[in-house]
Structure 1
Amino acid sequence: MLPGGTEPDPRFTLANERTFLAWIRTALAFIAAGVALEAFGGDLFHDDIRLAASLVAVVIGLIIAATSLFRWRRVESSLRHHTPLPWPALLPLLALGTALAAGVVLGLVLA
Protein backbone atom coordinates (compact mmCIF):
# COMPACT_ATOMS: atom_id res chain seq x y z
CA MET A 1 0.00 0.00 0.00
CA LEU A 2 2.88 2.37 0.75
CA PRO A 3 5.55 2.46 -1.95
CA GLY A 4 9.27 2.68 -1.33
CA GLY A 5 11.43 2.00 1.67
CA THR A 6 11.64 -1.18 3.67
CA GLU A 7 9.00 -2.89 5.72
CA PRO A 8 9.27 -1.55 9.31
CA ASP A 9 9.12 -3.66 12.43
CA PRO A 10 5.44 -4.62 12.88
CA ARG A 11 5.50 -3.28 16.45
CA PHE A 12 6.18 0.23 15.13
CA THR A 13 3.45 -0.03 12.51
CA LEU A 14 0.98 -1.24 15.12
CA ALA A 15 2.00 1.55 17.51
CA ASN A 16 1.40 4.04 14.69
CA GLU A 17 -2.06 2.57 14.16
CA ARG A 18 -2.85 2.82 17.87
CA THR A 19 -1.82 6.47 17.82
CA PHE A 20 -4.08 7.06 14.81
CA LEU A 21 -6.98 5.49 16.71
CA ALA A 22 -6.24 7.70 19.72
CA TRP A 23 -6.50 10.78 17.48
CA ILE A 24 -9.81 9.46 16.13
CA ARG A 25 -11.14 8.95 19.68
CA THR A 26 -10.13 12.50 20.52
CA ALA A 27 -11.89 13.78 17.40
CA LEU A 28 -15.03 11.86 18.34
CA ALA A 29 -14.92 13.37 21.85
CA PHE A 30 -14.84 16.90 20.41
CA ILE A 31 -17.68 16.12 18.00
CA ALA A 32 -19.75 14.53 20.78
CA ALA A 33 -19.12 17.55 23.02
CA GLY A 34 -20.35 19.88 20.29
CA VAL A 35 -23.47 17.82 19.71
CA ALA A 36 -24.17 17.56 23.45
CA LEU A 37 -23.68 21.28 23.94
CA GLU A 38 -26.12 22.07 21.17
CA ALA A 39 -28.67 19.46 22.28
CA PHE A 40 -28.57 20.04 26.04
CA GLY A 41 -27.06 23.50 26.54
CA GLY A 42 -30.19 25.50 25.79
CA ASP A 43 -30.60 26.84 29.34
CA LEU A 44 -26.90 27.41 29.93
CA PHE A 45 -26.00 29.87 27.16
CA HIS A 46 -27.49 32.46 24.90
CA ASP A 47 -28.48 30.74 21.62
CA ASP A 48 -25.76 32.43 19.53
CA ILE A 49 -23.00 31.61 22.03
CA ARG A 50 -24.18 28.00 22.35
CA LEU A 51 -24.25 27.57 18.57
CA ALA A 52 -20.79 29.11 18.17
CA ALA A 53 -19.29 26.93 20.92
CA SER A 54 -20.92 23.83 19.45
CA LEU A 55 -19.64 24.60 15.97
CA VAL A 56 -16.12 25.25 17.26
CA ALA A 57 -16.05 21.88 19.04
CA VAL A 58 -17.39 20.00 16.00
CA VAL A 59 -15.03 21.75 13.58
CA ILE A 60 -12.03 21.00 15.81
CA GLY A 61 -13.13 17.35 15.89
CA LEU A 62 -13.47 17.27 12.11
CA ILE A 63 -10.03 18.81 11.60
CA ILE A 64 -8.42 16.35 14.01
CA ALA A 65 -10.14 13.40 12.31
CA ALA A 66 -9.16 14.55 8.82
CA THR A 67 -5.55 15.34 9.62
CA SER A 68 -4.96 12.21 11.69
CA LEU A 69 -4.97 10.12 8.52
CA PHE A 70 -2.26 12.31 7.01
CA ARG A 71 -0.28 12.07 10.24
CA TRP A 72 -0.51 8.27 10.16
CA ARG A 73 0.69 8.26 6.54
CA ARG A 74 3.65 10.58 7.23
CA VAL A 75 4.78 8.55 10.25
CA GLU A 76 4.49 5.27 8.33
CA SER A 77 6.53 6.75 5.49
CA SER A 78 9.19 7.93 7.96
CA LEU A 79 9.36 4.44 9.46
CA ARG A 80 9.80 2.89 6.02
CA HIS A 81 12.52 5.32 4.95
CA HIS A 82 14.35 5.48 8.30
CA THR A 83 13.95 9.26 8.57
CA PRO A 84 13.09 11.32 11.65
CA LEU A 85 9.43 11.26 12.63
CA PRO A 86 7.44 14.34 11.61
CA TRP A 87 6.42 16.92 14.18
CA PRO A 88 2.81 16.39 15.33
CA ALA A 89 1.11 19.46 13.83
CA LEU A 90 -2.17 18.50 15.52
CA LEU A 91 -0.86 19.27 19.02
CA PRO A 92 -1.39 23.07 18.91
CA LEU A 93 -4.95 22.57 17.65
CA LEU A 94 -5.64 20.00 20.35
CA ALA A 95 -4.20 22.27 23.05
CA LEU A 96 -6.25 25.24 21.81
CA GLY A 97 -9.42 23.17 21.56
CA THR A 98 -8.95 21.77 25.04
CA ALA A 99 -8.29 25.24 26.45
CA LEU A 100 -11.46 26.54 24.79
CA ALA A 101 -13.47 23.63 26.17
CA ALA A 102 -12.05 24.23 29.64
CA GLY A 103 -12.98 27.91 29.33
CA VAL A 104 -16.57 26.98 28.48
CA VAL A 105 -16.77 24.65 31.48
CA LEU A 106 -15.23 27.31 33.72
CA GLY A 107 -17.79 29.80 32.47
CA LEU A 108 -20.58 27.37 33.31
CA VAL A 109 -19.25 26.78 36.81
CA LEU A 110 -18.79 30.48 37.58
CA ALA A 111 -22.13 31.56 36.11
Structure 2
Amino acid sequence: MTSDRAQTDRRFPARLFRHGAEPDPRFTLANERTFLAWIRTALALIAGGVALEALGLDLHPGYRLAAAIVLIAAGLVTPLLAWAGWYTTERALRHSRPLPAPVLALPTALAIVIAAALVALAVLNR
Protein backbone atom coordinates (compact mmCIF):
# COMPACT_ATOMS: atom_id res chain seq x y z
CA MET A 1 0.00 0.00 0.00
CA THR A 2 1.35 3.44 -0.87
CA SER A 3 1.61 6.32 1.53
CA ASP A 4 -0.43 9.51 1.23
CA ARG A 5 2.76 11.38 0.31
CA ALA A 6 3.48 9.00 -2.58
CA GLN A 7 -0.09 9.42 -3.84
CA THR A 8 0.24 13.21 -3.67
CA ASP A 9 3.55 13.18 -5.56
CA ARG A 10 1.92 11.39 -8.50
CA ARG A 11 -0.76 14.06 -8.95
CA PHE A 12 -0.19 16.86 -11.42
CA PRO A 13 0.99 19.48 -10.76
CA ALA A 14 2.89 17.97 -7.84
CA ARG A 15 4.00 21.37 -6.50
CA LEU A 16 0.34 22.26 -5.92
CA PHE A 17 -0.68 19.04 -4.23
CA ARG A 18 2.34 18.91 -1.89
CA HIS A 19 1.03 21.89 0.09
CA GLY A 20 -2.06 22.50 2.14
CA ALA A 21 -4.79 20.11 3.18
CA GLU A 22 -7.11 18.08 1.01
CA PRO A 23 -10.30 20.09 0.51
CA ASP A 24 -13.76 18.59 0.37
CA PRO A 25 -13.73 16.51 -2.85
CA ARG A 26 -16.96 18.17 -3.99
CA PHE A 27 -15.18 21.51 -4.23
CA THR A 28 -12.22 20.04 -6.10
CA LEU A 29 -14.55 18.29 -8.53
CA ALA A 30 -16.58 21.49 -9.03
CA ASN A 31 -13.33 23.32 -9.80
CA GLU A 32 -12.46 20.65 -12.36
CA ARG A 33 -15.93 20.88 -13.97
CA THR A 34 -15.52 24.65 -14.27
CA PHE A 35 -12.14 24.14 -15.97
CA LEU A 36 -13.68 21.66 -18.41
CA ALA A 37 -16.55 24.05 -19.15
CA TRP A 38 -14.01 26.70 -20.15
CA ILE A 39 -12.26 24.14 -22.38
CA ARG A 40 -15.59 23.49 -24.12
CA THR A 41 -16.04 27.25 -24.48
CA ALA A 42 -12.60 27.49 -26.08
CA LEU A 43 -13.50 24.76 -28.57
CA ALA A 44 -16.73 26.58 -29.43
CA LEU A 45 -14.88 29.87 -29.97
CA ILE A 46 -12.35 28.20 -32.27
CA ALA A 47 -15.10 26.36 -34.16
CA GLY A 48 -17.04 29.60 -34.59
CA GLY A 49 -14.00 31.39 -35.96
CA VAL A 50 -13.16 28.56 -38.34
CA ALA A 51 -16.79 28.35 -39.48
CA LEU A 52 -16.91 32.06 -40.31
CA GLU A 53 -14.08 31.62 -42.77
CA ALA A 54 -14.70 28.05 -43.94
CA LEU A 55 -18.33 28.61 -44.88
CA GLY A 56 -17.45 31.57 -47.07
CA LEU A 57 -20.57 33.49 -46.11
CA ASP A 58 -21.60 36.43 -48.25
CA LEU A 59 -20.19 38.97 -45.81
CA HIS A 60 -17.60 41.72 -46.15
CA PRO A 61 -14.39 39.65 -46.22
CA GLY A 62 -12.28 42.02 -44.11
CA TYR A 63 -14.75 42.17 -41.23
CA ARG A 64 -15.49 38.44 -41.52
CA LEU A 65 -11.77 37.62 -41.27
CA ALA A 66 -11.30 40.00 -38.34
CA ALA A 67 -14.22 38.41 -36.46
CA ALA A 68 -12.82 34.94 -37.18
CA ILE A 69 -9.40 35.96 -35.87
CA VAL A 70 -10.91 37.43 -32.70
CA LEU A 71 -12.84 34.22 -32.01
CA ILE A 72 -9.89 31.95 -32.74
CA ALA A 73 -7.53 34.08 -30.64
CA ALA A 74 -9.99 34.02 -27.75
CA GLY A 75 -10.24 30.25 -28.17
CA LEU A 76 -6.46 29.95 -27.98
CA VAL A 77 -6.13 32.09 -24.85
CA THR A 78 -9.09 30.60 -22.97
CA PRO A 79 -7.45 27.26 -22.04
CA LEU A 80 -4.40 29.06 -20.65
CA LEU A 81 -6.55 31.33 -18.50
CA ALA A 82 -8.74 28.37 -17.53
CA TRP A 83 -5.66 26.48 -16.30
CA ALA A 84 -4.51 29.50 -14.30
CA GLY A 85 -7.98 29.84 -12.80
CA TRP A 86 -8.16 26.14 -11.92
CA TYR A 87 -4.72 26.29 -10.31
CA THR A 88 -5.34 29.40 -8.21
CA THR A 89 -8.75 28.12 -7.11
CA GLU A 90 -7.34 24.72 -6.15
CA ARG A 91 -4.53 26.41 -4.21
CA ALA A 92 -7.05 28.60 -2.37
CA LEU A 93 -9.15 25.54 -1.53
CA ARG A 94 -6.11 23.66 -0.21
CA HIS A 95 -5.11 26.58 2.04
CA SER A 96 -8.65 27.51 3.19
CA ARG A 97 -8.37 30.97 1.65
CA PRO A 98 -11.05 32.95 -0.15
CA LEU A 99 -11.54 31.95 -3.77
CA PRO A 100 -9.90 34.19 -6.37
CA ALA A 101 -11.95 36.45 -8.60
CA PRO A 102 -12.91 34.93 -11.96
CA VAL A 103 -10.52 35.93 -14.73
CA LEU A 104 -12.20 34.51 -17.82
CA ALA A 105 -15.71 35.93 -17.87
CA LEU A 106 -14.89 39.51 -18.88
CA PRO A 107 -12.26 38.75 -21.58
CA THR A 108 -14.52 36.10 -23.12
CA ALA A 109 -17.52 38.42 -23.10
CA LEU A 110 -15.45 41.21 -24.68
CA ALA A 111 -14.16 38.91 -27.41
CA ILE A 112 -17.69 37.77 -28.22
CA VAL A 113 -19.00 41.35 -28.29
CA ILE A 114 -16.15 42.44 -30.58
CA ALA A 115 -16.68 39.47 -32.90
CA ALA A 116 -20.43 40.09 -33.00
CA ALA A 117 -19.88 43.76 -33.80
CA LEU A 118 -17.50 42.80 -36.61
CA VAL A 119 -20.02 40.31 -38.02
CA ALA A 120 -22.72 43.01 -37.84
CA LEU A 121 -20.46 45.39 -39.76
CA ALA A 122 -19.73 42.64 -42.26
CA VAL A 123 -23.45 42.15 -42.84
CA LEU A 124 -24.10 45.88 -43.19
CA ASN A 125 -21.17 46.39 -45.58
CA ARG A 126 -21.61 43.45 -47.96
Give me the TM-score of the superposition, normalised by structure 2: 0.78
> Given that residues 71 and 88 in structure 1 are in contact (C-alpha distance below 8 angstroms), is that contact kept between their aligned partners in structure 2?
yes
Distance 1:39 1:27, change over 3 A: same
Choose the corresponding residue for 1:41, options 52, 56, 68. 56
> Given that residues 31 and 61 in structure 1 are in contact (C-alpha distance below 8 angstroms), is that contact kept between their aligned partners in structure 2?
yes
Runs of 4+ residues deviating >3 angstroms: 104-111
CA distance in 1, matches of 2:22, 2:29: 12
Q: Structure 1 regions of 5+ residues with no counterpart?
A: none
* 1:72 to 2:72 alignment: no
Q: Structure 2 regions of 5+ residues with no counterpart?
A: 1-10, 12-16
Structure-2 residue corresponding to 1:89 = 103
After superposition, the C-alpha distances for 1:83-108 in whole angstroms (9 at most, x for unaligned) are 01111111210110121233245446
Aligned positions, number:
110
Shift in Å, 1:30: 0.5
RMSD: 1.8
> Given that residues 79 and 85 in structure 1 are in contact (C-alpha distance below 8 angstroms), is that contact kept between their aligned partners in structure 2?
yes
Tell which structure's C-alpha radius of gyration is larger: 2
Matches within 5 A, 1:1-111: 1=11, 2-46=17-61, 48-107=62-121
Identity %: 54
Distance 1:50 1:106, change over 3 A: closer
SS of 2:18's equivalent in the other structure is: coil
Shift in Å, 1:51: 2.1
> Given that residues 41 and 50 in structure 1 are in contact (C-alpha distance below 8 angstroms), is that contact kept between their aligned partners in structure 2?
no
After superposition, the C-alpha distances for 1:47-91 in whole angstroms (9 at most, x for unaligned) are x32222211110011111111011101100000000011111112
